Structure formats: structure tokens, C-alpha cells
Amino acid sequence: MKIIVVGCGRLGSDLATRLFEQGHEVSVVDNVPAAFNNLPAHFQGRIIEGEALSEDVLHRAGIERADGMAAVTNLDALNAVVAHVARTVYKVPIVVARNYDPHCRPMHEAFGIQVVSSTIWGSQRMEELLYHSDVRTVFSAGNGEVEIYEFTVPKAWDGRKLADLLIPGESLAISLSRAGQAVLPNPDMLLKEGDVVNFSATLKGVEALRTQLKSL
């Protein structure tokens, strides 16, 4: 793939390096020459110095033939506008923007841009690690609005229905493993101690499950 990374700070340089090491053709754009020092010596992608909103800079980065762009500067407005231009003017198929300040996230959403908010996701993940060991997060979608969790059925829930654990519209069971064999679960399935249940849920859905487990 031909990918443009706008911003060569810690995040941008690491992303560009990862993409390059995976064999992609990478162009990195930044208006601060010293920022390119963040790239490792073995990086052999293209380096373009200049303002990301400059038409000439975008052309030199190869935007007309780009398969993807990641706008990852620490300026939310710049990320949003550059991503919007890439998607609407140059028809870049895959565009992702970094959200630096959580208060600015609605701006990205207003443009309909796929956004990654490391601050929001990171704080939620740390919260879970600090005091939620009973139900483990195994996958996070978006910025943590919906996640996939895993928990082991305790003795007190032996013989109870799976549906009793979940809130319709807020959580959904996606697999149940028993004696090493996984199945697609039916809500009416009776649980057995030691079953491992994977389910997707919103924050409301997983908090409801945790409340039930604590009440045992």
C-alpha cells in the first residue's frame, strides 16, 4: 500500500516505521525539519518537509495515488481538515485521524472521519486494569465504545441461563467455551462453572455484568 503519514512526532514516526517495516510505501509529512530525527536510521520512506495543507506538499507526498492517510499531528484542527481534504477532494480510500484533545473529538466526528483517540482509549483501558480483574477486555472497537470481554463462569452461576447475565441492546454473547470447545451461544443455554464466555458490550452492559458478579 501507498500510505501518507502527516506528522512525524512520536506517534507518527513509530507508525511510519511500522508501516515501512511491513513493506508499505510510506511518505511522511511534517513542517518541522527536526521532527524527522524521530525516524530510525533504517527508514527508507519518503520525507516531505512542508505544511500538510499545501497542495504542492500533498502532491509531492503522492496523494493522488495514495491508498491511505493517517493524520497524526498534535493539532486536532489540522488533523481533521487534512483528513477531510484527503477523503473528499483526493478520494483517498482509507483515512484515519488522531484525536489529541478529547474535547475536540466532536469536530472529527462532524467530518465523518475515522478517529483514534489515544487519550480516551488509554484512560478507559487503565481504569479497567486498575480495578476490573473479574471481566477481562480482549478487544476494543472504535475508541472503547464497544469492547469484547471474557469472563469465567463462577460456581454461583452454575445452572443459570446465559441470558440472565446480559442486557438486551447493551451486551451480546459471541462465544462460549466448555472443556476446550467453543460454540456460538444461545441465550437460553445453561451455564456451567468454568465456562469461558466472550461477549461484546457497551460500558453500560459490562458494568451491569460486573454488578451482578459482585452481588454473588
| In contact, 19 and 26? CB cutoff 8 Å | yes
Residue 201 falls within a domain, yes or no? yes
Are 86 and 190 part of one and the same domain? no
- 33 shares its domain with 116: yes
pLDDT, tens only, 59-114? 999 999 999 999 999 999 999 999 999 999 999 999 999 988 888 888 877 888 88
| Residue 174 resides in a domain | yes
Pairwise CA distance, residues 216 & 211, whole Å: 9
Same domain, 69 and 22: yes
Which of 98, 120, 142 is the C-terminal boundary of a domain? 120
All residue ranges of the chain with pLDDT < 70 are 124-125, 127-134, 143, 216
6 and 95, same domain (yes or no): yes
Provide the pLDDT for residue 179.
Answer: 81
Residues 61 and 88 in one domain: yes
Are residues 185 and 87 located together in one domain of the fold? no
Q: What pLDDT score does 133 carry?
A: 57
The reply to whether 137 and 113 lie within a common domain is: no
Q: What is the pLDDT of residue 46?
A: 96
Whether 91 and 6 map to the same domain: the answer is yes
Q: For residues 105 and 210, state if they share a domain.
A: no
Residues paired with residue 97 on neighbouring β-strands, in sequence order: 71, 115
We report the CATH number of the domain holding residue 152 as: 3.30.70.1450
> Are residues 57 and 97 located together in one domain of the fold?
yes
| Domain termination residue (choose one: 92, 120, 148) | 120
91 and 30 in a common domain: yes
The pLDDT assigned to 47 comes to 97
Closest CA to 4 of 28, 36, 40: 28
Q: Mapped to the 3 state alphabet, what secondary structure does the chain carry?
A: CEEEEECCCHHHHHHHHHHHHCCCEEEEEECCHHHHHHCCCCCCCEEEECCCCCHHHHHHCCHHHCCEEEECCCCHHHHHHHHHHHHHCCCCCEEEEEECCHHHHHHHHHCCCEEEEHHHHHHHHHHHHHHCCCCEEEEEECCCCEEEEEEECCHHHCCCEHHHHCCCCCEEEEEEEECCEEECCCCCCECCCCCEEEEEECHHHHHHHHHHHHCC
Residue 127 lies in a domain: no
Q: Are residues 19 and 114 in the same domain?
A: yes
pLDDT of residue 129: 56
Q: What is the pLDDT of residue 125?
A: 64
Per the listing, cell 438486551 goes with 168
Quote the pLDDT of residue 112: 83
Q: What is the pLDDT of residue 132?
A: 54
How distant, in Å, are the alpha carbons of 26, 52, 77 from that of 32?
Answer: 18, 11, 18
Q: Which of 100, 120, 140 is the last residue of a domain?
A: 120
Q: What pLDDT is attached to residue 204?
A: 87
Domain that holds residue 168: 132-214
Answering whether pTM is above 0.75, one says no
Between CA 70 and CA 140 the distance in angstroms is 19
- Total count of domains within the chain: 2
Please check whether residue 90 lies inside any domain of the structure. yes
Report how far residue 147's alpha carbon sits from residue 49's, in angstroms, rounded to the nearest whole number: 38
